[in-house]
Amino acid sequence: MSGIVVYLPQGSGSRPAGGSGDADGEPSGDAVTLRLGPGEMARFGRGSATTPVELRLADEAISRLAGEIRVTDDHWQLSNHSATQSYLVENPEGAGEYLRVPPRRAGAPIPFEFSRVVLPTRGGATVAFQVFAPDHVYLDPDGVGGPWESRTVTAYSLDETATYFLVLVALCEPRLRDESPVAVPTTPQIVERLRGHTACGRLTARAVSSHIDYLAGEKMRIAVPAGGESGRGARRNGKREAIVGLALRFGLVREEHLALLPPRTGGGPGARSGRHLGE
């Protein structure tokens, strides 16, 4: 496990110390992304001048030091520093699966690849942040058995039941359906394409962008050249192109995966290529 990515959505807190938030340190409400490697940790809570935290959660019902995330070689752990409140760790892709971390519990191991950590606040509301644990290792089907040291693991550990894999299939769909060059779908097009899926009815453009960043940076380890005169839009297009190119070259997404997508309702790119529709 090479590490984890912690993501705090916009409006939930502020930049961590040393980040690009407001100069006076007051909560900016901007989204926060932390990358932690094995052996590293991050504290979360309301924070103060005397209680520094890496992940600030701007709600008065949350303790100054509410808890701690620690990364090990093969999983991550959550410590609950509250004396009274339990925290939930939800698996958003597990049909309601969750763990409850009780008060004062130290080092609770979290098994989910994608988690949402939920803290209670006053009035029934909650504050939540997401944790991506990208390097869950899957054995090669042909390499199972024998001593661990001799086993072969997959180069790209993709969970085909995860939402990020649906996003990947939607990115690759036009080129799988039509051999001619087709532009990679934009983020709004992916949101619209997945809207009919039971797990994606509330999928937002921001969430799709997060899944694309996760695929590029953590799952496929794609380095996209930064800057230049092309700007941010071109970099994002380049990232999507690189993801699709790698996924199709190595067969990570194949024609049979198109069955994971909801039925096509319009005449979008590739709809005329009936040999791939499977309908």
Produce one character per residue of 97-117: b if its CB has 16 or more CB atoms within 10 Å, e if not.
eebebeeebeebebebbbbbb
pLDDT of residue 143: 53
Sign of CA dihedral 99, 205, 166, 142: negative
Q: How long a stretch of residues is the chain?
A: 279
Residues 6+ apart with CB under 8 A from 26: 14
pLDDT (mean) for 188-193: 95
- Whether the per-residue pLDDT at 114 is higher than 90: the answer is no
pLDDT of residue 2: 66
Residue range(s) defining the domain that contains residue 21? 4-132
pLDDT > 90 fraction of the chain, expressed in percent and rounded: 40
Structural tokens at position 89? 């760790």
pLDDT band, residue 17 (cuts 50/70/90): very low
pLDDT band, residue 226 (cuts 50/70/90): low
Is the same domain home to 96 and 204? Answer: no
pLDDT band, residue 70 (cuts 50/70/90): very high
Would residue 152 count as lying in a domain?
A: no
**130: closest CA among 64, 215, 207, 204?**
207
More confident residue, 101 or 157: 101
pLDDT of residue 25: 40
What is the crossing angle of helices 163-177 and 231-249, to 10°? 80
CB of 76 closer than 8 Å to CB of 44: no
For residue 54, the domain's CATH number is 2.60.200.20
Is the same domain home to 54 and 118? Answer: yes
Is the same domain home to 111 and 173? Answer: no
Is the same domain home to 59 and 167? Answer: no
Backbone angles phi, psi at 166, to 5 degrees: -60, -40
pLDDT (mean) for 91-104: 85
pLDDT of residue 158: 85
Would residue 175 count as lying in a domain?
A: yes
- Whether the per-residue pLDDT at 214 is higher than 50: the answer is yes
pLDDT (mean) for 89-97: 81
pLDDT tens-place string over residues 230-264: 556 666 678 899 999 999 988 999 999 999 999 98
pLDDT of residue 136: 63
Is the same domain home to 88 and 16? Answer: yes
Average pLDDT over all residues of the chain = 79
Structural tokens at position 156? 């790209």
Count the domains in the chain: 2
Is the same domain home to 18 and 120? Answer: yes
From 84, 117, 132, the end of a domain falls on 132
From 132, 155, 175, the end of a domain falls on 132
Q: What is d(CA 45, CA 3) in angstroms, rounded to the nearest whole number?
A: 21
pLDDT (mean) for 89-111: 89
* Residues pairing with 30 in the sheet: none
- Tell me, what amino acid is at 231? G
Q: How far apart are the first and last CA of the chain?
A: 40
- Whether the per-residue pLDDT at 22 is higher than 80: the answer is no
pLDDT band, residue 155 (cuts 50/70/90): low
pLDDT > 70 fraction of the chain, expressed in percent and rounded: 72
pLDDT band, residue 23 (cuts 50/70/90): very low
**100: closest CA among 85, 113, 114?**
85
pLDDT (mean) for 148-160: 65
Q: What is the DSSP letter of 18?
A: T
- Whether the per-residue pLDDT at 216 is higher than 80: the answer is yes
- Tell me, what amino acid is at 63? S
More confident residue, 276 or 57: 57
Is the same domain home to 185 and 67? Answer: no
